[in-house]
Amino acid sequence: MAQFFFHHSCSIPIVVTLTAARHGQRGEWLTRAIYSQMFNWTNCTVCLQCTLEFKKMRSAGLKRSNALMIPFWIDYKRFQAFYNQGESIRLPFYRLLDGRFPLVYPARFHKVKGHQYLLRAAKLVVKRFPECIFVLPGEGPLLQRMRLLAADLGIANHVLFVGRLRIEEVHALLHRCKIGLVPSLSETFSMLITEYLLAGLPVASTDVGLALDLAQVGGVMMVPKSDPEAMAEAIIRLIEDENLRKQIAERGKPFVLEHCEINKIAKDIKKSMSVAYQDRRRACLFAHVFNCTRVQKKFERTEKNMTGEKEFYQGQYGKISSETLPPRLIKVREIFSKYRARRILDIGMGDGGFSVILKETVHAEGIYGDISEKAVQIANKKGIKASKANLNINPLPFKDEYFQAIHCGEIIEHLFDPDYLLDELYRVLKKNGILVITSPNLASWHGRIELLLGYQPYAHEVSLRYNVGRIKRRVLEGATGHIRSHTKKSLEELLRIHSFEVLALQGSSESSGFLPFPLNLIDRVFSFSPSFSDILIATARKE
């Protein structure tokens, strides 16, 4: 249920936020009806995002006098900054767009988003225009099903599933695409339409959210929901008529800037709050409009957000000696001994001790990165070209396809955004280059027992300060910073999503050094089965 409120004892209006009314889900009408009756009963002012939302709430019983139209806002200056940044970004799949006519729809793969109808429309489009390619960034529960549907429709070569992209990567993609698509079955506003128009793209959209308002000024090519034929016809018209594409983009962008720009919305909110304050008999409820911060925070990775993590790692780094290599590094050395590389990147490996070993193993120029300044200084003294890198917020300071091999040892489990790490590793690794990545196994044999008994597994922690919930706390004093845990299946799938071919995945024993007899022997036995081993070692190749 929505957070609800009544008049304060002093009759001062209260401003709260309301979650979306289950748009496109079962029970939507009932939920809206309940909200409407509560708003009518307390005489609240409800701020709605678009004409469609207004019509839905009115049909559910909301009084017209209780409704105020304030759309979801967009910060144009912020958008321009991201969009301009996108010009300098080259995504790995760009080569597949050369000589093609790309159309884009970045959205979560959910039944409400209408991907199934878009793919059926795509089949009709590519019959007329074989050069078309539909780029579909995103993840979700229906991703695999949509891949199979594209194959069944015979359009697998015309549909590009690229996984989740960061906000700057989405804007980089908008630079390359010709048409923006929105086949959704339900949207309260559809921020995606505003981003298309601000990027200068024409839009083909179903009759949802902001599209109803834009259709009145010719700022969108609107089609009925769940109608692949109509969507295909609209796309074909846009492909055939370049003037129509320009016309829609030129009409839509001024509308968005006039009605949805943040400064205009701020004035409307201020005015509405003033009215509510003056009329002390009424309370004022603002629905959705303040939720834009969640969109910004979702994609922002700032130094401020990572302060605790940086402070944690400044004093922690691995100290490796060739005389006392742990079992996992012995296996990593064996893997790299089969390859030769002129440049190898050893990332997140403490004081650079193992970087020296890798350099000698593959006869390469070792280059190394760590977040700890002290670790970098020690590595430099050992003759390693070391540099400081925080892969939660900063890209690697190397050009594209710079390395023939990369070792990423025990680092992915420490990152807030492991996808960003894999994107960067893919970028700096040459085609057919080798990546060896190691990580603790959440589903190790002892991890399964610990969970069964109600204890915290050693592969995952809940605090950067305290070691809590463990069976034997003194084994690991303090926290080690494991915030992203992997199993054999999850690590394999994640690498494949980021366009790596998994060549091998083996296990290793790491806990046997501090486990008592006979548990240390059991740990060594289970190391032969990656699903149950203490450490996962994945060998992958860039496709």
Q: Is the Cα torsion angle 16, 22, 27, 29 positive or negative in sign?
A: positive
Q: What is the DSSP letter of 539?
A: E
Q: Could you give the CA distance from residue 165 to residue 160 in angstroms, rounded to a whole number?
A: 13
Q: Which residues of 136-167 are buried (b: 16+ CB within 10 A; e: fewer)?
A: bbbebebbeebbebbeebebeebbbbbbbbbb
Q: How far is CA 475 from CA 209, 330, 479, 485, 534, in A?
A: 56, 23, 11, 19, 15
- Is 535 within 8 Å of 470 (Cβ atoms)? no
CB atoms within 10 A of CB 184: 27
Distances (CA, A) of 47 to 72, 294, 470: 10, 18, 49
Name the token pair of 511.
Answer: 């806990």
According to CATH, the topology of domain 86-255 is Rossmann fold (3.40.50)
Residue with tokens 């629905």: 287
Q: pLDDT per position in the chain (543 positions), as tens?
A: 233 333 333 333 333 334 344 444 555 556 666 666 666 655 555 555 555 555 566 666 666 555 555 555 666 776 776 667 666 777 788 888 888 999 999 999 998 899 999 999 999 999 999 999 999 999 988 999 999 999 999 999 999 999 988 877 888 888 889 999 999 988 767 788 888 998 889 999 998 878 888 888 888 999 999 999 999 999 999 999 999 999 999 998 888 888 777 777 666 666 665 655 454 434 333 333 333 333 333 334 434 444 444 444 444 545 555 556 778 888 888 898 888 888 888 887 666 677 777 777 776 665 655 556 666 667 667 666 666 667 766 788 888 888 899 988 888 888 888 888 898 899 899 999 999 999 999 999 888 988 999 888 877 888 777 778 877 654 445 667 788 889 999 999 999 988 899 999 999 887 545 567 777 788 888 888 999 998 999 999 997
pLDDT tens digit sequence for 54-94: 556 666 666 655 555 555 566 677 677 666 766 677 778 88
**What tens digit of pLDDT does each residue of 218-253 get?**
889 999 999 999 999 999 999 999 999 999 999 988
- How confident is the model at residue 242, as a pLDDT? 92
| Fold equal for 86-255 and 307-542 | yes
Asked if 87 and 173 touch (Cβ cutoff 8 Å), the reply is no
What fold, for 307-542? Rossmann fold (3.40.50)
How many angstroms separate the CA atoms of 124 and 370, rounded?
51
Q: Which residue has the tokens 């300071």?
A: 397
Rounded-to-integer distance, Cα 488 and Cα 10, Å: 59
Q: Domains of the chain: which residue ranges?
A: 28-73+262-296, 86-255, 307-542
DSSP assigned state of 371: S
Q: Are 383 and 358 in contact (CB under 8 A)?
A: no
CB 244 within 8 A of CB 235: no
